[in-house]
């Protein structure tokens, strides 16, 4: 690394450290103020030991990610505490304005039904149900503790940065009032902070799946066996058997369920598609292990109705904690599931990987992990808004994209292949910023999970730790790859206006149907079904490739240290806590082959060297229509403004500067190990592009 590049990194690191120090001071001051205020208020729980007759039980603060009785450490621990003091358990669920603001309609519809089911199951088993509280969880837990004179509140640990910080503040506030907040594990198999990757092992790129799997198995071991639901415990409803400390309200008064909307009834679609209960989770998992697991390895890519049970559909149950990951893990161990389907086994670890990434990159939902990708050009203004709206509605003119988006709108769920295809189309072809797609998925998916969603969209935006280096048409929007819906049956179900077309490729590519066929099937492109937003897909993808090459070349020339000369791979600063001690601080990350080829070609052109053409470069897709596809019309294609076209030829000064920098970089990277820098020292920006504020009309 050149002196200039190193100085820049150090300067940015210093600014980031100063910002973190200021944040820490503000938090410490806030904590002292909370302590002082609580002491002045004098509303604490009287000090008591476990043998004190005044202590009557324990509080379980149920959360939206642990709505179950089996293998629930928070609930099990609360019951053990209650038995130890000869008392009762009170279950509290709190819903704040922030919760309402940050939860999409689909998640709220699921949550309302899940709470209803949990309340019913608890009453039937233990005699008392869920006591609802409208407000912050800490306040609800404190009131419950006062009501039953408990000194301990048990809650499942939260891992999202904002929620984890809120729990830290709540723990301090409750401790001052004489109540201990006990946070238990159980939402994940492994603690993200405990998994350390050996970068020197060279068993894959840093931050991708297999190095993480090996690190988790090496450092964390077996996650433990699932535990049965507690027995011999009595639960109470606050506000009835307790004193005046608690005001009893119903689920309807809590405001969890989404408001009635003429455009979409989330609850109706979700109720029709799911059994939202702990029993439903167990039954769904049992059916998959009995029927679908043996087929998963060969058929998990199928999204058509004809395929039957080829995916588990377990994601919303795991998201809301209606089945524990430990249960899934050990059921697979008993069935030798790792050997039956390595792909499904690794799906469990991919969920863990997402939370590991969120732990080490707290800004994962909005800031590029590859910090130099923050400078990438994106479509903006009215054109970006219109492109986003058509994508959201499932009106892009590409059935494979529209099918997934309409399924999402009606059911709150999408097959993984559909998620990847629709995300790739929005980012690579329309050029809309990945955070806007991530925001829409968070609003509309029933299984919306901040860590998993952010990791997926970072990868789709090419700024994450994995760039999905397997394109070659597998995520093409033009229907050239149809393995997930070979006959177009899913398209016929979710896009009924195309259902009359013959089964097969015409449902994927209606623009290739003859006028007679379209007329016979009552399909009029541009009327009954929209025309394609983009006609020249090759040109759209080339624009994406040029954009990425531009930012990577700029990083290479300025000697910022995040693009490695020679191999042209991207590098990231590995957080200290994410790697084993002594590891190099700059870690190689997965970089698409086409990105490396493009940057090498640009560097060679600047140096005046002619490289042979790449024989693997071919027109988009494999259909006969691709070779002579007409260019996109100005009326139907979103314009890209100043970023359209190929990369401009650099001037002579830039050529000379690039040659000098390339020589210095090539020498600097030979055998170099870099000093430690925290990951967020590299880029302290946290601004995100504007986002859509409301759902489109249907």
- pLDDT digit string, tens, across residues 11-28: 454 454 455 455 555 444
93-105 confidence digits (pLDDT tens): 999 999 988 898 8
Output the average pLDDT for the chain.
82
pLDDT at residue 215 in the model: 94
Asked whether residue 7 carries a pLDDT value surpassing 90, the answer given is no
Estimate to the nearest angstrom the gap between the alpha carbon of 332 and the chain centroid: 24
Is a pLDDT exceeding 60 seen at residue 273? yes
Q: Is residue 506 part of a domain?
A: no
What is the 3-class SS of 624-651, one letter each residue? Answer: CCCCCCCCCCCCCCCCCHHHCCCCCCCC
Any idea what DSSP says for residue 364? T
**Residue span of the structural domain in which 588 resides:** 537-624+646-671
Q: Evaluate if residue 230 carries a pLDDT over 80.
A: yes
User: Could you tell me the maximum CA-CA distance found in the chain, to the nearest angstrom?
Assistant: 87
* pLDDT for the residue 268: 79
Q: Could you report the per-residue pLDDT of 568-600, keeping only the tens digit for each?
A: 999 999 999 999 876 668 999 999 999 999 999
Taking a C-beta distance cutoff of 8 angstroms, is the pair 184, 77 a contact? yes
The token duo for 627 is 């070779």
18 part of a folded domain: no
- What is residue 503's DSSP assignment? S
Band of pLDDT at residue 532, cut at 50, 70 and 90: very high
* Site of tokens 């590409």: 398
Check residue 525 and report its DSSP letter. Answer: B
Q: For 339-353, 380-394, 649-663, which range has the lowest pLDDT when averaged over its residues?
A: 649-663
Question: To the nearest whole percent, how much of the chain has pLDDT over 90?
Answer: 63
Query: Which helix or strand (DSSP H or E) is residue 317 part of?
Result: helix 315-319
**Do the Cβ atoms of 305 and 488 come closer than 8 Å?**
no
Residue bearing tokens 């077309």 = 501
pLDDT beyond 90 at 479: no
Quick one: which of 626, 555, 630 has its CA closest to 586? 555
pLDDT of residue 640: 38
Residue 388 pLDDT more than 90?
yes
Number of continuous H segments (helices) and E segments (strands) in the chain: 26, 8
Q: Tell whether 364 is covered by a domain.
A: no
Mean pLDDT of 449-477: 90
Given a cut of 50, whether residue 130 has pLDDT beyond it is yes
The mean per-residue pLDDT over the stretch 18-46 comes to 45
pLDDT of residue 652: 53
Q: Please report whether residue 56 resides in a domain.
A: no
Reported as type and span, the H/E element at residue 57 is strand 57-62
Are 248 and 237 in contact by the 8 Å Cβ rule? The answer is yes
Average confidence (pLDDT) over 344-360: 97
Ranges 300-314, 536-550, 641-655, most confident: 536-550
Domain count across the chain: 1
- Whether residue 696 is predicted with pLDDT greater than 50 in this model: the reply is no
**pLDDT the model gives residue 258:** 78
User: Is 55:48 a contact under the CB 8 Å cutoff?
Assistant: yes
Contact in structure between 349 and 316 (CB atoms under 8 Å): no
DSSP code of residue 573: E
d(CA 267, CA 270): 5
pLDDT average, residue stretch 245-257: 83
- CA–CA separation, 69 and 427 (whole Å): 41
**Residues above pLDDT 70, as percent of the chain:** 76
Q: How high is the pLDDT of residue 306?
A: 67
What 3-state DSSP class applies to 481?
coil
pLDDT at 660: 56
Among 88-92, 238-242, 482-486, the range of highest mean pLDDT? 88-92
For 133, 176, 474, the CA distances from 361, given in Å and listed in that order, are 32, 31, 29
Name the token pair of 235.
Answer: 């639960």
Main-chain dihedrals φ then ψ at residue 222, nearest 5 degrees: -70, 135
Bridge-based pairing of strands 571-573 and 235-236 is unpaired
Burial of 461 (0-12, 13-18, 19+ CB in 10 A): buried
DSSP for residue 56: -
* SS3 assignment for 641-694: HHHCCCCCCCCHHHHHHHHHHHHHHHHHCCCCCCCCCCHHHCCCCCCCCCCCCC
Answer yes or no: is 620 within a domain.
yes
How do residues 252-266 score in pLDDT, each as one tens digit? 888 898 765 545 566
Q: Across residues 355-371, what is the average pLDDT?
A: 97
Nearest to 137 by CA among 179, 87, 188, 80: 179
Mean pLDDT of 371-396: 97
Q: Which residues contact 273 (CB under 8 A, 6 or more apart)?
A: 411, 412, 413
**Contact between residue 548 and residue 376 where contact means Cβ atoms under 8 Å apart:** yes
- Give residue 582's pLDDT: 66
What's the mean pLDDT in 236-247?
70
User: Which of 653, 648, 664, 542 has the alpha carbon at shortest distance from 597?
Assistant: 542
Higher pLDDT, 406 or 102: 406
Nearest in space to 587 (alpha carbons), one of 572, 577, 576, 575: 572
Rounded to the nearest 10°, the torsion over CA 32, 37, 39, 40 is 140
Say what the pLDDT of residue 54 is. Answer: 52
Which band of pLDDT confidence, cut at 50, 70 and 90, is reported for residue 269? confident
The predicted-structure confidence for 605-660, as pLDDT tens digits, reads as follows 887 776 665 544 444 544 333 333 334 333 443 333 334 334 444 455 554 554 55
pLDDT for position 529? 98
Binding residues for FAD: 344, 447-449
Residue 684 predicted with pLDDT over 60: no
- Consecutive H or E run containing 11: helix 3-41
Residue 571 falls inside a structural domain? yes
Q: Please answer whether residues 173 and 38 qualify as being in contact, where contact means their C-beta atoms are separated by less than 8 angstroms.
A: yes
Which segments are annotated as binding site?
A: 344, 447-449
* pLDDT at residue 411 is higher than 60: yes
CA separation (Å) from 258 to 110, 126, 130, 261, 437? 10, 29, 20, 8, 21
Q: Mean pLDDT, to the nearest integer, of 676-697?
A: 31
CA-CA-CA-CA torsion sign (313, 317, 318, 324): negative
pLDDT, residue 378, reads 97
Mean pLDDT of 45-70: 72
Give the pLDDT confidence score for residue 596 in this predicted structure. Answer: 95
Check: CB of residue 38 under 8 Å from CB of residue 44.
yes
DSSP 429: I
List the single range of 268-282, 584-598, 662-676 with lowest mean pLDDT: 662-676
* pLDDT of 379 over the 70 cut: yes
What is the CB neighbour count within 10 angstroms for residue 279?
12
Q: Is residue 586 part of a domain?
A: yes
Per the listing, tokens 């970023």 go with: 643
Within-domain flag for 503: no
**Cβ proximity of 441 and 457 under 8 Å:** yes
Helix (H) or strand (E) holding 167: helix 161-176
pLDDT band per the 50, 70, 90 thresholds, residue 551? very high
The residue with greater pLDDT, 366 or 14, is: 366
């Amino acid at each position: 690394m050149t002196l200039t590049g190193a100085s820049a990194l150090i300067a940015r690191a210093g600014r980031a450290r100063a910002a973190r120090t200021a944040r820490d001071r503000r938090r410490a001051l806030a904590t002292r103020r909370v302590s002082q205020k609580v002491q002045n208020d004098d509303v604490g729980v009287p000090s008591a030991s476990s043998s004190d007759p005044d202590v009557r039980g324990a509080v379980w603060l149920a959360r939206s990610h642990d709505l179950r009785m089996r293998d629930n450490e928070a609930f099990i621990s609360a019951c053990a505490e209650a038995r130890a003091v000869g008392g009762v358990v009170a279950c509290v669920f709190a819903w704040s304005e922030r919760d309402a603001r940050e939860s999409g309609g689909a998640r709220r519809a699921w949550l309302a039904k899940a709470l209803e089911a949990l309340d019913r199951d608890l009453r039937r088993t233990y005699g008392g149900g869920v006591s609802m509280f409208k407000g912050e969880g800490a306040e609800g837990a404190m009131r419950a503790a006062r009501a039953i004179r408990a000194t301990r509140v048990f809650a499942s640990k939260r891992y999202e940065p904002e929620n984890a910080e809120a729990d830290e503040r709540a723990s301090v506030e409750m401790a001052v009032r004489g109540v201990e907040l006990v946070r238990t594990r159980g939402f994940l198999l492994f603690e993200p902070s405990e998994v350390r990757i050996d970068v020197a092992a060279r068993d894959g790129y840093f931050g991708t799946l297999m190095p993480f799997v090996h690190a988790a198995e090496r450092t964390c071991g077996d996650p433990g066996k699932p535990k049965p639901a507690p027995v011999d415990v009595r639960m109470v409803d606050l506000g009835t058997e307790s004193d005046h400390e608690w005001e009893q309200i119903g689920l309807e008064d809590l405001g969890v369920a989404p408001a009635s909307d003429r455009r979409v009834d989330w609850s109706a679609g979700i109720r029709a598609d799911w059994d939202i209960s702990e029993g439903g989770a167990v039954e769904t998992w049992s059916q998959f292990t009995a029927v679908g697991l043996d087929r998963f390895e060969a058929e998990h890519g199928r999204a058509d109705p004809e395929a039957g049970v080829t995916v588990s559909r377990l994601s919303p149950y795991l998201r809301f904690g209606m089945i524990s990951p430990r249960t899934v893990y050990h059921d697979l161990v008993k069935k030798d599931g790792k050997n039956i389907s390595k792909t499904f086994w690794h799906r469990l670890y991919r969920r863990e990987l997402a939370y590991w990434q969120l732990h080490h990159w707290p800004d994962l939902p909005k800031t590029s992990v590859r910090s130099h990708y923050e400078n990438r050009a994106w479509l903006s203004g009215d054109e970006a808004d219109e492109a986003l709206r058509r994508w959201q509605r499932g009106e892009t003119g590409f059935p494979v994209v529209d099918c997934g988006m309409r399924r999402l709108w009606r059911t709150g769920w999408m097959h993984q292949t559909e998620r990847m295809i629709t995300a790739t189309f929005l980012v690579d072809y329309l050029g809309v910023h990945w955070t806007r797609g991530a925001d829409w998925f968070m609003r509309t998916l029933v299984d919306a999970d901040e860590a998993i969603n952010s990791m997926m969209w970072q990868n789709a935006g090419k700024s994450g730790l994995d760039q999905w280096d397997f394109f070659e048409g597998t995520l093409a929007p033009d229907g050239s790859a149809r393995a997930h819906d070979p006959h177009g049956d899913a398209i016929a179900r979710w896009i009924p206006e195309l259902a009359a077309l013959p089964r097969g490729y015409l449902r994927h590519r209606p623009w290739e149907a003859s006028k007679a066929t379209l007329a016979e099937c009552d399909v009029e492109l541009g009327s009954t079904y929209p025309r394609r937003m983009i006609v020249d897909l090759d040109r759209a993808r080339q624009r994406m490739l040029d954009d990425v090459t531009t930012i990577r070349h700029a990083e290479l020339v300025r000697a910022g240290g995040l693009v490695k000369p020679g191999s042209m791979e991207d590098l990231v600063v590995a957080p200290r806590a994410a790697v084993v001690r002594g590891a190099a601080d700059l870690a190689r990350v997965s970089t698409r082959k086409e990105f490396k080829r493009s940057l090498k070609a640009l560097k060679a052109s600047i140096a005046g060297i002619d490289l042979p053409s790449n024989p693997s470069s071919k027109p988009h897709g494999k259909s006969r229509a691709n070779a002579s596809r007409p260019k996109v019309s100005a009326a139907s294609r979103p314009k890209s403004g100043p970023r359209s076209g190929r990369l401009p030829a650099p001037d002579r000064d830039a050529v000379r500067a690039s040659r000098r920098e390339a020589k210095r970089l090539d020498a600097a990277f030979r055998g170099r190990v870099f000093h430690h820098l925290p990951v967020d020292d590299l880029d302290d920006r946290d601004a995100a592009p504007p986002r859509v504020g409301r759902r489109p009309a249907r």
